[in-house]
Amino acid sequence: MLTRLAREFAADVRHAVRQMRRRFGFTATVVLTLGLGIGATVALLSVVNALLLQRLPYTDEDRVRVFWMDYDWRGEEYDFVHERPGVFESVAAFSTNGGPYHASTRATGNAELLPFVVTTSTLFDVLGTRPYLGRALQAGDDRPGAPLVIVISYGMWKQDLGGDAAVIGHQILIDGKPVTVVGVMPKGFYFPSPNFRAWRPVQLDPATSFYHNVGYLVLVGRVRPGVEPPLVQSDLQRLARSLGERFTYTAAFDKTKDAGSQPVRTYLLGNVRSAVLLLFGAVTLLLLIACGNAAALILARTSDRTGELAVRVALGAGHGRIAR
């Protein structure tokens, strides 16, 4: 029985190939019609997966919130907020803004541009991600007099340092200064974008005017478990009032107004859910139209073969064979 079905199936395949070669124009039209619909749908599915379905490489990403007025927080303001976390388990600050945070590194004997993030020692606690090798930044790394250290990405470890398991403690030159590698982040981890390949401690030195006068940081925090968004917003309003009591702001940089936060996914990827779903619906409709057109073409082709099919039925072909 199985042998006969296999022979019939092989014969049907050969017959289908002959039919397609004999009517190449018809075959090309159907393939292109289906290919257009399927290709567009598959391409957009990858976008939907990346923007809406795939989890970010952070633990409980829904609890990670980015504060208002990004790239405008001073070092002293971060310390003020960090000492009054409220509903947040931990608060961190980082920056990717400006030339000082891109430097030349000599990791394998060749100088290259290394885009990196400067951050407080609490960033990886906020993100809830532990290193693949070594340690993350720790308390004191972002304070005056601390040794120069760096945490690198998995890609940098593999590509620039050959995936050496003994990389922890290895020194690389950044702007001519030796910096010690203390950790390697897991594969797939990035923050805030895959372009950045390393994380260095920001220098928070109260003795400098930079600490008091230059706003360049983004604040991000991890909300305590079970805290609802309305309570988070209420606590941020409380924090804004405290900032107004401690610091004097100009109208353009007044952090006492419009206090709020947004999920880290929205901050990194944008609020694209509605637009992506609308586009996905349009592409799905395109796929249905392509399938309908292909079905109409095949139906028209089948109508031309009524005589042939009648002969096959007369010769004993069963309904299954005719359907195939």
Residue 61 lies in a domain: no
State yes or no: pLDDT of 18 exceeds 90: no
pLDDT in tens, 116-168: 899 999 999 999 999 999 999 999 999 999 999 999 999 999 988 888 888 99
Asked whether residue 60 is domain-assigned, the answer is no
Both 211 and 179 in a single domain? Answer: yes
The per-residue pLDDT for 151 is 95
The one-letter code for the residue type at 35 is: G
Tokens of 217: 């940081």
Q: Which of 24-33, 184-193, 206-215, 277-286 has the lowest mean pLDDT?
A: 277-286
Q: Are the C-beta atoms of 135 and 100 separated by less than 8 Å? A: no
Q: Residue 216 in contact with residue 97, Cβ under 8 Å?
A: yes
Asked if 161 and 305 sit in the same domain, the reply is no
Q: Is residue 36 situated within a structural domain?
A: yes
In a domain, 193, yes or no: yes
E strands, 101-190, in order: 102-106, 111-119, 133-134, 149-152, 171-174, 177-184
Look up the pTM and report it: 0.73
The pLDDT value recorded for residue 280 is 77
Q: Which residue has the higher pLDDT, 302 or 109?
A: 302
Integer Cα distance of 217 and 220 in angstroms:
10
pLDDT above 90 coverage of the chain, percent:
47
Tell me whether residue 7 is exposed, middle or buried, using C-beta atoms within 10 angstroms of its C-beta: 0 to 12, 13 to 18, 19 or more.
exposed
Tell me which residue has tokens 């593999």. Answer: 158
pLDDT value of residue 244: 93
The two three-digit tokens of residue 102, written as one number: 């891109």
| CA–CA gap between residue 56 and residue 46 (Å, rounded) | 15
Does 316 lie in the same domain as 173? no
Q: Residue 153: CB partners within 8 Å, gap ≥ 6?
A: 184, 185, 189, 190, 196, 197, 198
Q: Which residues, in sequence order, are CB contacts of 258 under 8 Å at separation 6+?
A: 68, 69
129 and 238 both lie in a single domain:
yes
Mean pLDDT value across the chain: 86
Give residue 216's pLDDT band: very low, low, confident or very high (50, 70, 90).
very high
Residue 266 lies in a domain: no
Question: Phi and psi (nearest 5°) for 163?
Answer: 65, 30
Q: What is the pLDDT of residues 96-114, one digit of tens each?
A: 875 444 455 555 555 677 8
Give me the number of domains the chain comprises: 2
Q: How far is CA 125 from CA 122, 159, 177, 258, 261, in A?
A: 5, 26, 27, 27, 18
Please determine, for residue 81, whether its predicted confidence score (pLDDT) is greater than 90.
yes
Among 228, 259, 290, where does a domain finish?
259
Last residue of a domain, one of 213, 235, 259: 259
Asked if residue 264 is part of any domain, the answer here is no
Average pLDDT estimate for 239-247? 94
In a shared domain, residues 305 and 165: no
Contact 119, 202 (CB under 8 A): yes
Whether 74 is in a domain gets the answer yes
Q: Distance between terminal CA atoms of the chain?
A: 18
The pLDDT score that the predictor gives to residue 111 is 63
**Which range, of 6-10, 51-55, 225-229, 237-241, averages the lowest pLDDT?**
51-55
3-state helix, strand, coil in the chain (%, to 5): 50, 20, 35
Task: Round to whole Å and give the CA distance between 79 and 74.
Answer: 9
- Residue 304: give the domain boundaries: 2-54+273-323
**Residue at a domain's end among 203, 232, 259:** 259
Residue 183 and residue 189 in contact, taking contact as beta carbons nearer than 8 Å: no
Same domain, 197 and 135: yes
Is residue 85 located within the same domain as residue 44?
no
Closest to 172 (Cα-Cα) out of 187, 157, 186: 157
Query: Which residues on neighbouring strands pair with residue 102, listed in sequence order?
Result: 115
> Helix and strand tally (H, E) in the chain?
11, 11
**99 and 138, same structural domain?**
yes
pLDDT of residue 321: 77
pLDDT-derived band of residue 283, with 50, 70 and 90 as boundaries? confident
In whole angstroms, what separates CA 101 from the centre of its chain?
A: 22
Q: The tokens 């403690």 sit on which residue?
A: 169
Same domain (yes/no): 73, 49: no
210 and 288 housed in the same domain: no
Q: How large is the average pLDDT for residues 66-84? A: 94
24 located within any domain: yes
Residue range 286-296: average pLDDT?
Answer: 85
Q: Are residues 135 and 281 in the same domain?
A: no
Same domain, 184 and 240: yes
Q: What is the pLDDT of residue 268?
A: 86
- Res. 307: pLDDT tops 60: yes
